[in-house]
Chain A
Amino acid sequence: MANEVVDHGRRRFLTSATAVVGGVGIVSAAVPFIKSWEPSARAKAAGAPVTQSLKKIESGQQLIVAWRSLPVFIVNRTPEQLAALPKQDPRLVDPKSDGSSSEQQPKYAQNETRSIKPEWLVMVGICTHLGCVPNYVGEMKPEPFDPNWQGGYYCPCHHSRYDMAGRVYRGVPAPKNMQIPPYHFVDDTTVQIGVGPKEGA
Chain B
Amino acid sequence: MASGERRVHLGYVEAFRLGYSHLLRRLDRSTLNVASIALGLSFYTSLLLTDTFYRTYSTLGGASLSVEATYYWLVAIALTVSVVGITNAMLISVQERVKEIGTMKCLGALDRHITLLFLIEALLQGIIGGIIGYAVGVVAALLTTGFTTGFDIILRVPVTQNLTLFVSSLVLAIVLGTAATIYPAYRASRLDPVEALRYEL
Q: Do A and B come from one complex?
A: no
B residues engaging A (CB < 8 A)?
A: none
Give the B-binding residues of A (Cβ under 8 A). none
